[in-house]
Chains A and B, each alone.
Chain A
Amino acid sequence: MPHDLLIPTVPTSRRTQHEETSMNQHSMTIRGKERYKSGVMEYKKMGYWEPDYVPKDTDIIALFRVTPQDGVDPIEAAAAVAGESSTATWTVVWTDRLTAAEKYRAKCYRVDPVPNSPGQYFAYIAYDLDLFENGSIANLSASIIGNVFGFKPLKALRLEDMRLPVAYVKTFQGPATGIVVERERMDKFGRPLLGATVKPKLGLSGRNYGRVVYEALKGGLDFTKDDENINSQPFMHWRERFLYCMEAVNKAQAASGEIKGTYLNVTAGTMEDMYERAEFAKELGSVIIMIDLVIGYTAIQSMAKWARRNDMILHLHRAGHSTYTRQRSHGVSFRVIAKWMRLAGVDHIHAGTVVGKLEGDPATTRGYYDICREDYNPVRLEHGVFFDQNWASLNRMMPVASGGIHAGQMHQLLDHLGEDVILQFGGGTIGHPMGIQAGATANRVALEAMILARNEGRDYLREGPEILAKAAETCTPLKSALEVWKNVTFNYESTDMPDYVPTPSVAM
């Protein structure tokens, strides 16, 4: 569908259009001596609302969804967000005059009502590059989200998107390995990679756990994965897991002649413990390790640097993200987390399945995938992408689709997610009626059949079920997988979706 024209989901009324233009009219900044008279002054008069400001190429820009308390002027609320996320405090301070204060003030330069969401406003705020430390997500996030989210005049606040200037992007390492080198190391080209999370996620001994890894890899998967909460518990300490998993990986490699891997989760209570586990994984010859998002941004950056130094692929499980990404009016959008993680330097990130059991509207998910994989993201309001973003040749990050997916959805998965993705079928492998190897084989055959059909130019999305049925004629495990899971879908309303939808442009 051509979509040159982007309009809000329901046509904007004339009043709103009027509001939108009038909202952005004047600067109210008080200048000179008056600006620094002791006392309390509105943020919009202190220089945090500058509708004439044109952001510089080197500025960091943040887009917030602001929900002011009843009776609070949206411009003042937006200016307060700019103020509290940069230089301001609640009252005028004379010490501002010792600095180049105007440069350091974040400037809200545009406020738009959110389409179809009364009481919500999009505030665009520009920050000078000198406000941030090179190569530090901790510093970037402490500034942008550190102080403003509990601000009383706001009912709710959400960081929707950020434009990161090339000048700042280049101060980060970026993904330790990247999609291209990961594929070269794994010797796997032209198709999504296949994985599975070992289940049950808690309680297996090291020996039993390794059994699942071996069966799944031998059956045809490329990777198996520890779950986010598999660290070092009484039922299985980490060294046991690592030793048995590497026996499984090596046996499966010899049985198939293919490179295999298992994400050894090195998440632990201290950096020292994580480094110790990562070193052991390396000593055992693992190609990949894993960390959880909950270890924190600085720990993630440290592990990314370790991974680059040690030729290790670094998988990130986004454990905990839904506590702040899921609700539309408050928190931080996952697209911002994805951008931060690409800067921070992880190689894999869970980014949604669209069709599986976890939250994910197709258009929004598409936006996340583009952020992971493209070198340049143009504005795509219909995918929730609000800014042009140049990644300046930072490595591409491999998105991971995991949670409630099965072989029977292969055509939809390929259509939604493309080929540079890891498809993780946990239950969809281990829950196979004929066993784990059969489950893995079913997924691999379904995938290869779909790629073959796509490359041949077939309309694989429409003919998907037929293509799978045909492949199942020579593959009993696939036949049985299609039978068991044929009616499994997860159709629930998404809680987070784009505010803009494409409409066909008028024919010229």
Chain B
Amino acid sequence: MRVTQGCFSFLPDLTDEQITRQVQYCLEKGWAVNIEFTDDPHPRNSFWEMWGLPMFDLRDAAGVMMELAQCRKVYGNSYIRMSAFDNSHGWESVRLSFIVNRPKDEPGFRLERHEMAGRNIRYTTKSYAVDRPEGGRYG
């Protein structure tokens, strides 16, 4: 399967050149770009690990791309995403987020059904990968 979180997951994987242009768009908006990675892509896993702090004072996308290259060296078989934060009043949240790296193999999720009273079912989404400990999930 393919995890389709983020803004561009339905397109073919972005090239570094395409990623650079998106990052530059964020920087020109005055947003701080953060690189985040995880090997637990559960849809409710809000807090991926941060690769350093959001890059607040950066103006050139090249700096972000260097950090991405470093992050890929260490976590090349994890999910990596770019998140851009807008600190302007009334937003103060993420304004763009997209996946820039994926594991070679994405096993996906299974749906567990716990049958309750009546016809109610309690659903749990479980990533096949998280059965193994953090760090060793994608080989």
Contacts and interface: CB of A to CB of B under 8 A. Distances in A.
Given A191-B7, A257-B43, A456-B22, A184 B90 contact: no
B26 to A, nearest CB: 8
Nearest to B126: A254
B9 to A, nearest CB: 8
Interface in A438-452: 441, 444-445, 448-449, 451-452
B94 interface: yes
Interface string A224-264: 00000000000000000001001100110111111100000
A434 interface: no
A180 B110 contact: no
Contacts of A320: none
A3 interface: no
B7 A250 contact: no
B138 interface: no
Contacts of B91: 180
Given A183-B94, A184-B94, A375-B90, A455 B125 contact: no
Given A190-B7, A254-B111, 5 more contacts: A258-B5, A441-B10, A444-B10, A445-B10, A457-B25
A243 B120 contact: yes
Given A189-B7, A243-B119, A251 B93 contact: no
Nearest to B110: A254
Contacts of B84: 190
Contacts of B89: 375
A251 B123 CA distance: 9
The 7 closest A-B pairs by CB, nearest first: A190-B96, A257-B3, A250-B123, A455-B25, A254-B111, A254-B109, A190-B7
A255 B1 contact: yes
A285 interface: yes
Contacts, number: 105
A482 interface: no
Contacts of B93: 180, 183-184, 189
Given A254-B125, A257-B43, A393-B90, A187 B7 contact: no
A471 interface: yes
Interface in B3-18: 3-5, 7-12, 14, 18
A220 B123 contact: no
Question: Which label, helix, strand, loop or mixed, suits the secondary structure of the A interface?
Answer: helix
Interface residues of A, number: 38
A456 B96 CA distance: 13
Interface string B30-62: 000000000001111010000000000000000
A474 interface: yes
A314 B94 CA distance: 22
B69 interface: no
Contacts of B25: 455-457
Contacts of A247: 121
A257 B108 contact: yes
A34 interface: no
B104 interface: no
A284 interface: yes
Contacts of A258: 3-5, 43
Given A220-B10, A254-B111, A257-B43, A189 B97 contact: yes
A256 B46 CA distance: 16
A471 to B, nearest CB: 7
Interface string B103-124: 0000011110000000111010
Interface in A137-180: 180
A441 B9 CA distance: 11
Nearest to A453: B21
Q: Which of A253, A455, A457 has the most CB of B within 10 A?
A: A455
A283 interface: yes
A479 interface: no
B95 A257 contact: no
A447 to B, nearest CB: 8
B92 A452 contact: no
A258 B10 CA distance: 12
Interface in A303-324: none
B72 to A, nearest CB: 21
B25 to A, nearest CB: 4
B4 A257 contact: yes
A348 interface: no
A448 B7 contact: yes
A257 to B, nearest CB: 4
A256 to B, nearest CB: 5
Given A190-B95, A250-B123, A257 B109 contact: yes
Q: Which of B90, B92, B119 has the most CB of A within 10 A?
A: B90
7 contacts: A189-B94, A254-B125, A258-B43, A441-B10, A452-B18, A456-B25, A471-B11
B98 interface: yes
A284 B109 contact: no
Q: Which of A254, A258, A396, A474 has the most CB of B within 10 A?
A: A254
Contact of B10 (A184, A257, A283, A448): A448
